[in-house]
Amino acid sequence: MADWNPGAYLQYTDERSRPFTELVARVPGSPTTIVDLGCGPGHLTPVLRARWPEAHVTGVDASPAMIERAREADPGTEYVLADLSTDEHRADLVISNAALQWVPGHRDLLTTLADRAAQTFAFQVPGNHDAPSHRLLREVAARAPYADVVGPVERRATADPGEYLEILARPGWSVDAWETTYTHVLHGPDPVLRWISATGAQPTLQALEAKDPALRARFEEEFGAALRAAYPEHAHGTPLAFRRVFVVATRV
């Protein structure tokens, strides 16, 4: 797919940052080196610095636009452009927030990533692949004329906490796995469309844009109408339920 859009991604910074803050709070010990896999535009590095101000942080991301934005916003941190599936950085803490679901076969990669952590391997991934937002994305994209352009939209299914526990619970490791469903209250016109357009729907939208900008606009209108029906606006805003899965694996 084409590159990410840091500006669009940062529209809901508070909502997207909260799971990472809660993940970090469950990481034990005092790592002196940290690798953040899928660091995005670097907006979460301050969370790591607040918890471990003396640690050396390295951010890794496969998106040139995200790495460029991170380096501009935070020139004092090392940010590296690399594929998460092949990156070989080692650190006391290897951590990842809402990124591993984009790596094909990420379950098979988990023990390798954990082995690169001297103390702790921690990650969070979305668990909302069957939420209305994602079901509707697949349904609308499967209709003509979009299907001929984008093909079947992949169901990027992540595992349940128990499955991640089974993968990572090996001799010498203690694993804490859990899930949380957040109910974000979004505001403004078509907030769920804006949310998913910056993340899960981005490959679909980019493919349509490359074919014909008018086709993308038509898709957004159709998809947006379906999302408005699934996520009606209330006086207090538009509630968006978002399930996330967390894992903290620590050497013992």
Tens place of pLDDT per residue across the chain (252 aa): 455 556 555 566 778 889 999 999 999 999 999 999 999 999 899 999 999 999 999 999 999 998 999 999 999 899 999 999 899 999 999 999 999 998 989 999 999 999 999 999 999 999 998 999 999 999 999 999 999 999 888 777 799 999 999 999 999 999 999 999 999 999 999 999 999 888 888 889 989 999 999 999 999 999 999 999 999 999 999 999 999 999 999 999
Kindly state whether residue 164 falls inside one of the protein's structural domains: yes
Q: pTM higher than 0.75, yes or no?
A: yes
- The residues that bridge with 174 in the sheet, in sequence order, are 250
C-alpha span between 106 and 145 (Å, rounded): 32
Cis peptide before 145 (omega within 30 of 0): yes
What per-residue string of b and e applies to 53-69 under the rule 16 or more CB within 10 Å gives b?
eebebbbbbbbebbbbb
pLDDT score at 154: 77
Kindly state whether residue 151 falls inside one of the protein's structural domains: yes
C-alpha span between 141 and 152 (Å, rounded): 7
pLDDT score at 169: 97
Both tokens of residue 223?
A: 């998809």
pLDDT score at 16: 80
Both tokens of residue 227?
A: 């999302």
pLDDT score at 5: 59
| Residue 14 neighbours by CB distance under 10 Å | 8
Kindly state whether residue 81 falls inside one of the protein's structural domains: yes
pLDDT score at 223: 96
DSSP 3-state of 168: helix
C-alpha span between 27 and 36 (Å, rounded): 13
Number of domains, the chain: 1
pLDDT score at 165: 98
Which residues, other chains included, contact 91 with Cβ-Cβ below 8 Å and sequence gap of 6+? 31, 33, 34, 35, 58, 116, 117, 118
pLDDT score at 187: 93
Kindly state whether residue 1 falls inside one of the protein's structural domains: no
Host domain of residue 130: 6-251
pLDDT score at 145: 95
What's the gap between Cα 6 and its chain centre? 13
| Residue 211 neighbours by CB distance under 10 Å | 15
C-alpha span between 150 and 99 (Å, rounded): 22
Range list of H helices, the chain? 6-9, 13-25, 45-51, 64-73, 106-115, 132-141, 147-150, 161-168, 191-197, 202-211, 213-230
| C-beta of residue 84 within 8 angstroms of C-beta of residue 141 | no
Q: Strands 173-186, 238-251: parallel, antiparallel or unpaired by DSSP?
A: antiparallel
Q: Please report how many Cα atoms fall inside a 13 Å half-sphere around the Cα of residue 117, on the Cβ side.
A: 29
Q: Could you tell me the sign of the dihedral formed by the alpha carbons of 98, 198, 51, 32, in that order?
A: positive
Kindly state whether residue 154 falls inside one of the protein's structural domains: yes
* CATH number of the structural domain spanning residue 18: 3.40.50.150
